[in-house]
Chain A
Amino acid sequence: MPSRTVAVASASGLHARPAALFVKAAKAQPVAVTIQAGGKAPVPAGSMLHVLALSAGHGAEVTIAAEGEGAEEALDALAALLGTDLDATSGHD
């Protein structure tokens, strides 16, 4: 299955706003995407509750995976999002 492993770039980790932005983007993909961190079982990337529970901090390596038509493009887009410091792009301090 196509996959990407990326270090979480957001300063606060995959929490709060960065997590919300990531989950929204994952839900918008045409394919189902899973995310895995810390040796735990993969969880649906479109589930806010499961993504938060990964507790992936800044610099943590996460692996996203997907299968089917558009999977490669979806993974590229989500990997780019994970590799961006989403706290730094926030609309307020």
Chain B
Amino acid sequence: MTEPLRGIAAGPGLAAGPAHRIAARPALPPAVSVSDVDAETARALGALKTVADDLGARAAAVAGTVAADILDAQVMMAEDAMLGEDVAARVGAGTDAPHAITEALAVHRAAFEAAGGYLAERAADLDDLRDRAVAACLGLAMPGIPAPGRPFVLVAADLSPADTAGLDTGQVLALVTAEGGPTSHTAILARALGLPAVVGCAGALDIPDGTLVTVDGTRGLVETGVDEGTVAGIRAEETARRARLSATSGPGRTSDGHPVALLANVGSAEDHLDGAEGIGLFRTELRYLDRTEAPGFDEQVEAYTRVFRAMPGRKVVVRTLDAGADKPLPFLFADGEPNPALGVRGLRVARRHPEILRVQLDAIATAASAAGADVAVMAPMVATVAEAAGFVARCRAAGIAKAGVMVEIPAAALRARPILEVVDFISVGTNDLSQYTLAADRQCAELAELLDPWQPALLDLLAMCARAGAETGKPVGVCGEAAADPALAVVLAGLGIDSLSMSARAIPAVREALAARTFAECRAAAAAALAAGDAEGARAAVG
């Protein structure tokens, strides 16, 4: 057994099995002269047929979904007789198979690009087709999610939403990426699916396909070259862990009964809610995405009512529209901003479009009065006491009893005490607070270690918020990926945070971690983390 590879723990749990990598796009080899035209033509057409068959099988596996429609359309492109004729003619004129396919598809790509709009977006489908066909010509693995025919550990440089759209959680045991940080798409996806994951794992791409590996997504370790016995042992351990976690239930508390509410982050009533005491972050922007205008009052009332009804008598914290930066909405952002993360986003949108916020607050109030949940509302991207007070006034005017703000901007964390004096509660959004405190773009994989939620500067700001809560007697929650890390959850509880909101699947492990410690032990862990000099040291101090 060799030294384990180290990365960032991004999805708790253990997994073991063969590693299979998302194959890279094949490079086009230098052109060669064609001596046997018939054999070369067969190679080119055979490659197109291989691609069509492979995509067809993938489409069949996800039949009835939008992904299947896209795959079906790609199959028909690969099978297009006109494409085959064009490729054959190019080979006949002396071009080798990979170049003939590349050149023939380039003609269609140019036509798609020239048409613009929807078709220009589909140019990526042609590129994908080209990469697959060239790989088939060269006898290389197909780019994209591998299908080794047995459960496997998926290894990649990084995963995009497109890569993971049709991810089969019956086949994928764990995710390991060479790039990415704790708030990357891979990490968020892993926690949403309940998959163990290690991100930012340098050396992951050097693991040969089929190598047996173990993945420790709680500690951020990947061991390579393990034997079958180790794999079986890890699987048994993980099965036992999951059984133990699924047996935990009830509200979050330390072993001596100090309560820490464990809440769920959701986007709709369809999201996983099992085991959550309530909803700590209801993201309302999903309803606004892909729209040419804001959803109407009635549509909003209906959507909110469905979520409130899923939590009868329990806490639901609704976040008002959080648009901008990575979630631009065409009807709000016609003109581009030079730096959207620092631009008109979150509550700031209401400066330009107060009616959108007013309609949303009215819809939330109407839905809340009918549904019987304990509804609170909070605003995203608040920087000043005046903004917080203005938001609370709008909520009161709409008839909403509980109004708070998110703390995502360092300015708001530094002014937590005066802000808490004018609101009913605050909730710390650690993903954005990391990004703004460390001046590191959440989408910049190279800066992943700056976005580590154990960074001392972030812990200091969290401690300030918790202290302000204790001084004012008002609740302070955390709703960010940090809350889903069981070890960090212990620190947050020790700081005096009242509630933790996360993907519902992450709740059992956090509940177990809290139940294993007294409140005094949580406080000691928090003190040790705050005293550490860096993120690594803080994590080790809590151990």
Contact residues of A with B, CB < 8 Å? 12-13, 15-17, 19-20, 23-24, 44, 46-50, 52-53, 55, 90-92
Closest B residue, CB atoms, query A38: B115
Q: Does B542 reach chain A (CB closer than 8 Å)?
A: no
Contacts of A16 in B (CB 8 A): 69-70, 73
| B interface residues, tally (CB under 8 Å) | 23
Whether B77 sits at the interface, judged by CB under 8 Å, is yes
Chain B positions 460 through 484: 1 when the CB is less than 8 Å from some CB of chain A, otherwise 0: 0000000000000000000000000
Which A residue sits closest to B83, measured CB to CB? Answer: A49
* Residue ID in chain B nearest A23 by CB atoms: B76
**Chain B neighbourhood of A55, CB < 8 A:** 115-119
Interface residues of B (CB under 8 A from A): 64-66, 69-70, 72-73, 76-77, 79-83, 108, 111-112, 115-119, 122
By Cβ-Cβ distance, the 10 closest A-B pairs, closest first, are A55-B115, A48-B76, A53-B111, A47-B82, A49-B108, A17-B69, A49-B80, A48-B80, A48-B77, A47-B80
Question: What residues on B are CB-neighbors of A47 within 8 Å?
Answer: 80-83
Q: Which of A23, A24, A52, A91 touches B119 (beta carbons < 8 Å)?
A: A52
Complex contact B73–A92 (CB within 8 A): no
Q: Is the CB of B65 within 8 A of A44?
A: no
CA gap between A7 and B64 in the complex, in Å = 27
Would you give 27 A-B contacts (Cβ < 8 Å), ordered by A? A12-B118, A15-B119, A16-B70, A17-B72, A17-B73, A19-B73, A20-B69, A20-B73, A24-B76, A47-B83, A48-B73, A48-B79, A49-B77, A49-B80, A49-B82, A49-B108, A50-B82, A52-B77, A52-B112, A52-B119, A53-B111, A53-B115, A55-B117, A55-B118, A55-B119, A90-B69, A92-B65
Q: Is the CB of A46 within 8 A of B66?
A: no
* B83 neighbours in A (Cβ, 8 Å): 47, 49
The total number of A-B Cβ pairs within 8 Å is: 57
User: What would 6 more interface pairs be, CB under 8 Å, given A47-B81, A52-B122?
Assistant: A16-B69, A46-B81, A47-B82, A50-B82, A53-B115, A92-B65
Asked if residues B108 and A20 are in contact (CB atoms below 8 Å), the reply is: no
Across-interface contacts of A91 in B (CB, < 8 A): 64
Min CB distance, B51 to chain A, in Å?
14
- How near does chain B come to A83, taking the closest CB pair, in angstroms? 21
Residue of A nearest to B120 (CB): A55
CA of A47 to CA of B119, assembled, Å: 15
Closest Cβ of chain A to B297, distance in Å, is 22
Smallest CB separation, B70 vs chain A (Å): 7
Question: Quick check: A92 and B82 within 8 Å, CB to CB?
Answer: no
Q: Which residue of chain A lies nearest to B116 when distances are taken between CB atoms in the complex?
A: A55
Expressed in whole angstroms, the Cα–Cα distance for A13 and B118 within the complex equals: 10
* B64 and A92 within 8 A (CB): yes
Q: A20 touching B76 by the CB < 8 A rule?
A: yes
Chain A nearest CB: distance from B50 CB in Å? 18
